[in-house]
A and B are shown apart, each in its own frame.
Chain A
């Protein structure tokens, strides 16, 4: 693989791993505070899965950088906000249960179109990881789809809360598909899929569910900012997440 391709794949892997990690972090905040014990358990499970997926993508990234696996903890605990590549959608605070479930649904649907394409990647490590992640995503998709239906069609209040969440999240969801430097070369080499047609598939799938629930996607302009751009919430999230590790950077935890 030439230097341009390596650098482009590095960016894509980092973005995907960061997405999974930040979402796992937010979901895990519900543990002990969910609306019912069954959901404490379910969401803790999903958080562990997403954390596991993040670890898989970071591991491929470590290989690509010829770094040992411990490099992953360095990336997570000693990297400042400006160097993270997760979408802003995922770093927003958890909000209410509608906000968390809608975000999970939008991201699950993103993975649901991305992962099958990644299973056809010419890069073997990516193909294998995508197949593994896809098997677990079946359950996530089922869980978040069921919740969007229940809340979208439950009571007037649950519907209102879903619409409020959608108004905030819809423009930001576009950032999941925003192009990154070197994408064309990755697509040409069959390593990473073209994100534009995936976004059309995603819009169709998500649109069906919104229609079923009578939820209306706002007309406000979609976020076109790059994945290097963040909200102030990421800084706060990282300050908390990295606080113990940075107390003693030499320590093995």
Chain B
């Protein structure tokens, strides 16, 4: 009873701070649920960066010019840096990087389903940069306004780098869409395969999004899934059309009254299958992470042994 009367004013003060637009910092009082939701979101985000190195890393050895090779290594390296940075942000909430990594390796943690699709041709690298990173930027720009200080600051920094990623991806696709017949075909094939998974990146429709209400009240998510998806659609549809690529949605149309692009129905049954681990690459991605971790065990042991003797 004393505890309950103790916490209620704290919760009221916490919500008042968020109402005033203040940032919550690591040492500050926060409700357990806020802490849990943030650990869930930030660690999932970190895992997405780390697993996200794999589909693009797949083409590092095959980048078709030295400039593309250099840019791709740098981009995948940035993703590793983002993962590391986000793990640190989550650690400020009282969880260790080791715990988070173990959860990923054991298949208990989620990461963005977009990385459970394969990269099948070189234009996929451009399409990922343009659309996947573009969608991520839309989400992250929203999260840069979130109420938790370390996450918000991480998003500001990461968005700045993602903007370069998106720019190089778009530059590739624009060039290939106007390039040789082979290149045009590659770009179209990449769009055909990435379009729907990218639209799913924003999450379920608002009416089916279980975590959204409390996250909005505490200033973690400041815009709904459908709102952010609409922002993305209105930006990329005219750009893709302008370069002559066909968006694989026969029902896609411009709603003249609301001045918005409207997409056809999204296959949510497929989305949930991938979330639950049955996407085309879920098992391979986890196996690759586990292999890197297992192969690195003796290396980490050697580092510890050497450090303990010095």
Contacts and interface: CB of A to CB of B under 8 A. Distances in A.
B179 A251 contact: yes
B204 interface: no
A31 interface: yes
A40 B306 contact: no
A174 interface: no
Contacts of A54: 66
Given A35-B296, A37-B83, A38-B84, A253 B288 contact: no
A58 B73 CA distance: 20
B295 interface: yes
Interface in B63-88: 63-66, 68-70, 73-74, 76-77, 80-81, 83-84, 87
A40 B288 CA distance: 14
- For the residues of B in contact with A, the DSSP-based class is helix
Interface in A205-240: 240
Band of interface residues on B? 35 or more
A43 to B, nearest CB: 9
A158 B299 contact: yes
Given A73-B66, A97-B299, 5 more contacts: A34-B296, A37-B50, A48-B73, A51-B70, A161-B298
Interface of B: 50, 53-54, 57, 59-66, 68-70, 73-74, 76-77, 80-81, 83-84, 87, 122, 175, 179-180, 182-183, 288, 291-292, 295-303, 305-306, 309
Interface of A: 25, 28-29, 31-38, 40-41, 44-45, 47-48, 51-52, 54-55, 72-73, 76-77, 96-97, 149-151, 153-155, 157-158, 161, 240-241, 243-245, 247-248, 250-253
11 contacts: A33-B291, A35-B296, A35-B299, A36-B296, A36-B300, A40-B53, A40-B77, A40-B80, A51-B66, A97-B295, A252-B179
